[in-house]
Structure 1
């Protein structure tokens, strides 16, 4: 729940920034000076890039959560008991011990989105966020392809 609140707050702040930057952009564009016009264009282009990036991340989060909910409904989420830190994150040793099984399952079933999603969870528990996101992105793509084929 904290994550959702943080996402909403960041999105609202970004929208506020876009409004304020847009006002400044109009002023700079109407200045008639080359530097002012260039800065005005930058104040329009950069927020558009920021909107695209946050939209992409929000869409990734929504799709990843949907897959997690499907796995939860199927009872297919990992259920191993592992030690966690006070922050709630898995301890490195326990996460590393579970990781090979999930990697082997994904390699054995490369077209199964469920195994890739579980691998993403294992990467995340091991602290490798980049690979976790790659695995979950692959799971999202495989699930979408399977849905289109059905």
Structure 2
């Protein structure tokens, strides 16, 4: 729940920022000189890119949450098997064992989105965000029957 609140607050702040930057871009365009129009267009590009990025990220999170809900309904959500130190850090040996188990599961069933979802969760738990995101993108694509990204 805390993550959702943080996400929505951050998104709201970004939207306010995009509106402020966009209004400055429009003001520059209204000046009408070659230099201010050029800067105005450049300034307006930033909110467009930001809105696109925010939209894509929100779609990704919503799709991942839908897969989690579907997997939970099936009783297939992964159990956190990682051993942690008293300070909360993940024990490297236990992480390696979990990753080996998840990778083997994924190699045995490369077309099963559930395996890729569980692998993504294992990467996320170990704070390996790039690999977690790629594995989740693959799970989403497999679930939706779309071509799988490499």
The superposition leaves residues 20-41 of structure 1 with CA deviations (integer Å, 9 ceiling, x where unpaired) of 1222112111112222111111
Matched-pair contact (CA < 8 Å) for 1:105–1:115: yes
Aligned to 1:142: 142
Match of 1:6 in 2: 6
| SS of 2:136 mapped into structure 1 | helix
Taking a change above 3 Å as real, the CA distance of residues 27 and 51 of structure 1, as seen in their structure-2 partners, is: same
TM-score calculated relative to the size of structure 1: 0.87
Gap runs ≥5 in structure 2: none
Residue 108 of structure 1 is matched in structure 2 by 108
What 5-or-longer segments of structure 1 have no aligned partner? none
Check whether the contact 2:81–2:98 (CA below 8 A) recurs between aligned residues.
Answer: no
Please, what TM-score do these two structures have when normalized by structure 2?
Answer: 0.87
Q: Provide the C-alpha distance between the structure 1 equivalents of 2:134 and 2:49, rounded to a whole number of angstroms.
A: 22
For structure 1, which segment, 94-103 or 53-62, has the greater mean C-alpha deviation from structure 2 after superposition? 94-103
Which residue of the partner structure matches residue 38 of structure 2?
Answer: 38
What displacement does 1:15 show?
1.4
Deviation at 1:63, TM superposition (A): 0.5
Deviations along 1:29-85, one digit per CA (max 9) or x if unpaired, are 111222211111112111011000011011100101111111112111122543335
**Which has the larger displacement, 135-144 or 91-100?**
91-100
After superposition, what is the alpha-carbon deviation per residue over 1:79-98, rounded to whole angstroms, capped at 9, x for unaligned?
Answer: 25433357866443322221
Aligned equivalents of 1:65 and 1:144: distance in 2?
A: 14
Q: Distance in 2 between matches of 1:87 and 1:51?
A: 38
Partner of 1:21: 21
Number of aligned residue pairs: give it.
146
Question: Over aligned residue pairs, what C-alpha RMSD do you find?
Answer: 2.0
Contact preservation (8 Å) 2:113, 2:139: yes
Once the two structures are TM-superposed, the CA of residue 125 in structure 1 deviates from its matched residue by 2.2
Distance 2:6 2:90 in 1: 22
